[in-house]
Chains A and B, each alone.
Chain A
Amino acid sequence: GAGVSQSPRYKVAKRGQDVALRCDPISGHVSLFWYQQALGQGPEFLTYFQNEAQLDKSGLPSDRFFAERPEGSVSTLKIQRTQQEDSAVYLCASSFRQGGNQPQHFGDGTRLSIL
């Protein structure tokens, strides 16, 4: 399809395990964002890529969170030594180019549950 694709849709992990969440943005989109959405809340910014460069990771909650986009297309968000507070929906969004006026196109998210 032509939209943002995220996988897996659902992920259950035991506390302490590492997880990896994948995002396939819309082809040709320069900007890529990761957001975390807790239950009943709005999405909160985690990190931003412009092509392969990670320009802002100020929203990552701890050094257990790591994101990459090595070839400027697919991105992976990795969480090491997961904890229960990491349970949330992780949303990926892309936009055609940088700029605050650019609409961001969202994937359906990965719902992460830490037991």
Chain B
Amino acid sequence: AQSVTQLGSHVSVSEGALVLLRCNYSSSVPPYLFWYVQYPNQGLQLLLKYTSAATLVKGINGFEAEFKKSETSFHLTKPSAHMSDAAEYFCAVSDDGESGNTPLVFGKGTRLSVIA
């Protein structure tokens, strides 16, 4: 069974500082990995995805993530935080299910606060 662990339910950074949100996954097969962002009272917006191509993935809004198989990690980073980055971030894992059913398995989320 797949699972995702996001270390830190709440991360606070200063504006302009590095953002690092941690995600570790468990999967018995090569996974597909995703980061989504959720703003209050909205659905989830895809930031980036890893689908077995390049291990360093660049996404929208200056975010990127690196797939490290040896560490079963897919941490999300951004060099310089903006106030607009304050939101809830979810890491998710999927694979190619037998019937084509490929639901995402989500972590519990990390709330990012950005301090001026």
Contacts and interface: CB of A to CB of B under 8 A. Distances in A.
A52 interface: no
Given A101-B49, A103-B34, A108 B43 contact: yes
Interface in B49-106: 49, 51-52, 90, 92, 94-97, 99-106
Contact of B101 (A35, A55, A93): A55
B43 A109 contact: yes
A79 interface: no
17 contacts: A31-B100, A33-B104, A35-B104, A41-B108, A42-B90, A45-B105, A48-B101, A50-B100, A55-B101, A56-B99, A98-B101, A100-B31, A100-B32, A100-B95, A103-B46, A105-B46, A106-B45
Interface of B: 4, 31-32, 34, 36, 41-46, 49, 51-52, 90, 92, 94-97, 99-109
B111 to A, nearest CB: 9
Pick the 5 closest A-B CB pairs, nearest first: A42-B106, A106-B43, A98-B100, A45-B103, A101-B51
Contacts of A100: 31-32, 94-97, 102
A72 interface: no
A43 B32 contact: no
A58 B105 CA distance: 14
Nearest to B9: A40
Q: Determine the interface band of chain A, counting residues with CB < 8 A from chain B.
A: 20 to 34
Nearest to B31: A100
Contacts of A50: 100-101
Nearest to A108: B43
Nearest to B105: A45
Contact of A104 (B41, B101, B104): B104
Interface in A93-115: 93, 98-109, 111
A26 interface: no
Contacts of B100: 31, 50, 55, 98-99
Given A42-B107, A56-B99, A107 B34 contact: no
Given A42-B108, A101-B96, 7 more contacts: A42-B92, A42-B106, A56-B99, A100-B31, A100-B32, A108-B42, A109-B43
